[in-house]
Amino acid sequence: MGVAVRSTKTESGPIHYRYFMNVGPQHPSTHGVLRLIIGLYGEYVLSIEPVIGYGHRMHEKMAQSRPWQAFLPNTARMDYACCLPHQHCYLSLIEQHTGIKVPPRAEYIRVIAVELNRIASHLLWLGAFLLDLGAFTPILYCFDDREEVLDILENLTGARITHCFFRIGGVLADIDDHSANRIREFMRRMRGRFSVYHKLVTENIIFIKRTRDIGIITPDMARRYGATGPVLRGSGIAYDVRKQQPYSAYRDFSFDVPTGSRGDCYDRYLVRVEEMQQSLCIIEQALERMPAGEIRAPVPRTIRLPAGQRSFSVEGARGEVTYYLVADGTDTPYRLKVRSPCYANLNLIQELGQGMLFADMIATLGSLDLVIPEIDR
Amino acid sequence: MKRYIIELVQGGASLLAGLGVTLRALVAQPVTVPYPRKKLPMQPGFRGHPMLVRNPATGAFTCIACGTCMQRCPSRCIDITAARTESGTKYPARFQLDFTRCSLCGICVEVCPVSGLAFSRSFAMPHRTREACKYDLVTRGEEGT
Amino acid sequence: MDTIISITSAFTSVALAAAVIVGFVFVNATALGYIERKLCGRFQRRIGPMEVGWHGILQMPVDGIKLIAKQLIVPSHVAGPLFYVAPVLAFAPAALPFLVMPFAPRIQVLAMEAGLVFVLAVISFNTFAVFLAGWSSNNNYSMIGALRAVAQNISYEIPILLSLLTVVFLTGSFNLSRIVQVQESLWFVLRHPGAILAFLVFFIAAIAETNRAPFDLPEAESELTAGFHTEYSGIAFGMFMIAEYTYLFVNCCLATAVFFGGWWGPTLPFGQYSSCIWFFIKAYTLVFIVIWCRWTFPRVRFDQLMNLSWKYLIPIALGNLLLTALCTKL
Ligand code: SF4
Ligand code: SF4
């Protein structure tokens, strides 16, 4: 990589000398194999061009070439930080399409697992975001807490990251008293940890100066790009699939949808931290009111997907996850389209980053919480 | 000017609070363990690679080589060669699991009609060659966990 | 004859002193590297190095050997000799400030009259090395890192100088042992409100001057991968690291001598060594605080860094200097 200085004639007349930087595909703060071609003018970013697709694994094509059950492990491999919502979405779609009813206890277990997964994901994001801002220690504290969640999930699902836990018509394992007590213990611990994060991060003057009024996404802009999840809520739009179109058992729980007021990095940070607390709330209610009964509905051995099309959305940790199915009556989907939230969220950076300082651009990129394999699929 | 000083004082206080957090961590017990010397207890629900289950009474594998797992595995990483005993019951002469492709999804364990498969508890399985990752569960079954 | 003997003896003593000081630079960098890694581990609730030797105490020497033994990977696009010169330039002058550092009443190689100025001059030399490294690497990340380093070091030399001048006004001398001498009854930080302010300014500026987090912008891992030393490997990288630790320690020594009464302290049961021990205790305590800050705070942004220097530290240091000068004259 030589020092690449190219002259570009801009519309306003003067020639700007852009200093091109290749951020990625291997760079500490792109969190995966994302590549950004950045045109710099001094420390200012003039243009950003994201290059994606380094981690493309043809998941959607795979779905079309094998029976629908065989796609289940794939759903866990798109968003490695928060895979259960993907699985939840896929199975709910199939269940709705084939008219299979899920017992309420199974739905509750699904909700608990998904919310635990969401907390783990937000903790990972929190650490990585602080790492982007140059603080090395918070990520270790986050991992300490995340470890607890992963232990619980490992005991429940058998795996720490790529859980394959939900099954058609229910879940694989029940939450017994022992697991429930562990989850309660984790909730107690986690509630006490927020004050540590507030002292170390939220109230830190350097952190505030680095994130307040940086990377402001206006509600209009968020809508234009189809941003969802905490990125959208940070801009003040209280859109949460769990509230707007309650699926699974979410209708049974009361929880808030935290929103920001300014749409800057700091608001997105606050929204995610508050979301963790809301997730704890949901888990608590779910554990309390857990109905007795089956965890798996009896389903026929072979299920064909009736011809037709259908889509289903859930709220993932990064935004709205949608699976869209076109079936032709066989047991293999004719087409399965996955809408991943990060793809829309990433595109914001092109417009958002222009005219920003390089360091702010990195901070903003971090605040979008991108998981690149989910974009590439 | 007043705002400037307030910000200076509050900012300084917030920095000190942050230092307090890390200082407390400094004197607290570390939470990590030096892995190969000390191991954390494994979660009971952990899923290792699938392995063949033995009938506790006879000591023989319960698998009847029906091929369901082979058929249903999403990664198609199971390959079974069936054989028959003199009395005519089928048994797996070879049960190959290509662990390079197994996603540990657990579908094989779930679909087996005779509960012939279970998850092992081994997790550290480094190999030098790809071939070595293809386990024959019939012979490997001895090592079990 | 006599002159020859005195020349030889002078020569041996200088050679001895040089050997001791270079040895000390290595030992100090190794020790600091170990302390930092261990402390960083504990701050993050990890255990830090543990495998090599008792509690990992041999980890750093082993790493040093590894760095020396490693192949130097030189990318084809670097600017020839300058690329090799830069780490040497960073490393070679690092030992010089110890020549005039008054570790104890009689442990000082050169009782230079303008010792303080000498130390500052040597410290600012590091900027050259960093800039050369970044420039000759011919890499976009390194280039930005180098530019940041130059701007940062130039802006932070001013508050360092101004804050030290406060004490120079109080003592009327640039001689470091003289400055320590004066603090026999009470350290400057305890004696004079102006000195407290001067120390705070000096401390912040010194962290920035040595490119340590939260002011580690020339390296800024999450932005510039490794900044100015992105292209360096093996011992060339090791030299930058040794230089960084040495300059860190030099700055802490300077603060000890100027603000914390140098070798003065209650007598310890080590006889004549106790003064030297006091000096090191104070210096390493300051090092600890620097490390503590590094593992707590996020990094500041470049314009904030500049603002901090030009809008806060320099006016404060300047006002402080004026006030102190006025007070001493009245
Ligand atoms: S665990 Fe899943 S991928 Fe592995 S062998 Fe069984 S069915 Fe196949
Ligand atoms: S393990 Fe179970 S499913 Fe697989 S061949 Fe044997 S009996 Fe059939």
B positions 55-74 inside 8 Å of A (CB): 72, 74
pLDDT digits (tens, 9 = 90+) for A91-131: 999 888 888 888 888 889 999 999 999 999 999 999 889 88
Looking at CA atoms only, how far is residue A135 from chain C in angstroms?
4
Total-model pTM: 0.86
Task: Tell me the CATH number at B139.
Answer: 3.30.70.3270
Q: CA-CA distance, A27 to A1, in Å (whole number)? A: 14
ipTM of the complex: 0.81
Which residues of chain B are within 8 Å of residue C45 when distances are taken between CB atoms? 25, 28-32
- Are C220 and A2 inside 8 Å of each other by CB? no
Which secondary structure element, helix H or strand E, spans residue B119, and what is its range? strand B117-119
Average pLDDT over residues A317-343: 88
Residues B19 and B60 in one domain: no
SS3 A279: helix
Radius of gyration in angstroms for the set of CA atoms belonging to chain B, rounded to a whole number: 27
Q: What number of other Cβ atoms are within 10 A of residue A357's Cβ? A: 20
Token duo for residue C62: 């082993």
Q: CA-CA distance, C171 to C167, in Å (whole number)? A: 6
Size of interface A-C (CB pairs under 8 A): 87
- For chain C, the domain total comes to 1
Q: CA-CA distance, C262 to A47, in Å (whole number)? A: 53
Ligand 2, from B66, B84, B89, B137: best to mutate by most atoms within 8 Å of Cβ? B66
Question: Which residues face B12 on adjacent strands?
Answer: none
Query: Where in chain A are the domains?
Result: 59-375
- The predicted pLDDT at position A6 comes to 46
Which residues of chain A are within 8 Å of residue B66 when distances are taken between CB atoms? none
Whether residue B80 has its Cβ less than 6 Å from ligand 2: yes
pLDDT digits (tens, 9 = 90+) for A26-62: 887 777 788 888 888 878 888 888 888 888 888 888 8
Residue B69 domain-assigned?
A: yes
Model confidence at A11: pLDDT above 60:
no
- Are A155 and B72 inside 8 Å of each other by CB? no
Q: Which of B18, B72, B105 sits opposite A164 (nearest CB)?
A: B105
B29 close to A (CB below 8 A): no
By a Cβ cutoff of 8 Å, what residues of chain A touch chain B?
A: 66, 69-74, 77, 137, 141, 144, 147, 151, 154-159, 162, 164, 167, 172-173, 196, 199-200, 203-206
Per-residue DSSP letter, B128: S
A196 close to C (CB below 8 A): no
For chain B, the first-to-last Cα distance in angstroms comes to 70
What fold, for A59-375?
Answer: Cytochrome-c3 Hydrogenase; chain B (1.10.645)
Residue C231: closest CA among chain A residues belongs to which residue? Answer: A1
Which pLDDT band holds residue A271 (cuts at 50, 70, 90)?
very high
- Are B15 and C50 inside 8 Å of each other by CB? no
Residue B31: closest CA among chain C residues belongs to which residue? Answer: C45
Residues B88 and B116 in one domain: yes
- The predicted pLDDT at position C12 comes to 77
Which pLDDT band holds residue A16 (cuts at 50, 70, 90)?
low
Cα angle C240, C246, C250; round to 5: 140
Give the mean pLDDT per block of 10 residues along chain C (330 residues): 61 76 82 87 86 82 86 80 84 80 72 80 84 85 85 87 83 79 75 80 87 79 77 84 86 85 72 77 88 87 85 86 79
Which residues of chain C are within 8 Å of residue A18 when distances are taken between CB atoms? none
Compute the mean pLDDT over every residue in chain A, rounded to the nearest whole number.
85
Is residue C131 within 8 A of residue C146, CB to CB? The reply is yes
- The predicted pLDDT at position A123 comes to 92
Is residue A283 within 8 A of residue A183, CB to CB? The reply is yes
**Ligand 1 centroid to residue A295 C-alpha, Å:** 22
Whether residue B50 has its Cβ less than 6 Å from ligand 1: yes
- Are C213 and A134 inside 8 Å of each other by CB? yes
- For chain B, the domain total comes to 2
Per the structure, the complete domain to which residue B62 belongs is given by: 50-143
pLDDT digits (tens, 9 = 90+) for A149-208: 998 988 888 888 888 888 888 888 888 888 888 899 998 888 888 888 888 888 888 888
pLDDT digits (tens, 9 = 90+) for B107-118: 888 888 888 888
Q: CA-CA distance, C322 to C34, in Å (whole number)? A: 42
Residue B4: closest CA among chain C residues belongs to which residue? Answer: C312
Residues B85 and B136 in one domain: yes
Residue B40 domain-assigned?
A: no
pLDDT digits (tens, 9 = 90+) for B84-100: 888 878 878 888 888 88
SS3 A3: coil
Which residues of chain A are within 8 Å of residue C204 when distances are taken between CB atoms? none
Average pLDDT over residues A244-268: 87
Cα angle A128, A130, A132; round to 5: 70
Q: CA-CA distance, C149 to C156, in Å (whole number)? A: 10
For residue B65, the ligand 2 atom closest to its alpha carbon is 5
Q: CA-CA distance, B114 to B92, in Å (whole number)? A: 13
A149 burial via Cβ count (<10 Å: 0-12, 13-18, 19+):
buried
For chain A, the first-to-last Cα distance in angstroms comes to 28
A29 close to C (CB below 8 A): yes
> HEC profile for chain C?
CHHHHHHHHHHHHHHHHHHHHHHHHHHHHHHHHHHHHHHHHHHCCCCCCCCCCHHHCCHHHHHHHHHHHCCCCCCCCCCHHHHHHHHHHHHHHHHCHHHHCCCCCCCCCCCCCCHHHHHHHHHHHHHHHHHHHHHHCCCHHHHHHHHHHHHHHHHHHHHHHHHHHHHHHHHCCCCHHHHHHHCCCCCHHHHCHHHHHHHHHHHHHHHHHCCCCCCCCCCCHHHHCCHHHCCCCHHHHHHHHHHHHHHHHHHHHHHHHHHCCCCCCCCCCCHHHHHHHHHHHHHHHHHHHHHHHHCCCCCCCHHHHHHHHHHHHHHHHHHHHHHHHHHHHC
Residue B43 domain-assigned?
A: no
Residues B65 and B27 in one domain: no
Which residues of chain B are within 8 Å of residue A74 when distances are taken between CB atoms? 74
- The predicted pLDDT at position C107 comes to 67
Is residue A212 within 8 A of residue A203, CB to CB? The reply is no
Helix C140-171 × helix C314-329 angle, to 10°? 10
pLDDT digits (tens, 9 = 90+) for B33-66: 888 888 888 888 888 888 888 887 787 788 888 8
Is residue C119 within 8 A of residue C102, CB to CB? The reply is no
Q: Which of A27, A29, A133 sits opposite C298 (nearest CB)?
A: A133
Residue C55: closest CA among chain B residues belongs to which residue? Answer: B34
Per the structure, the complete domain to which residue C132 belongs is given by: 2-329
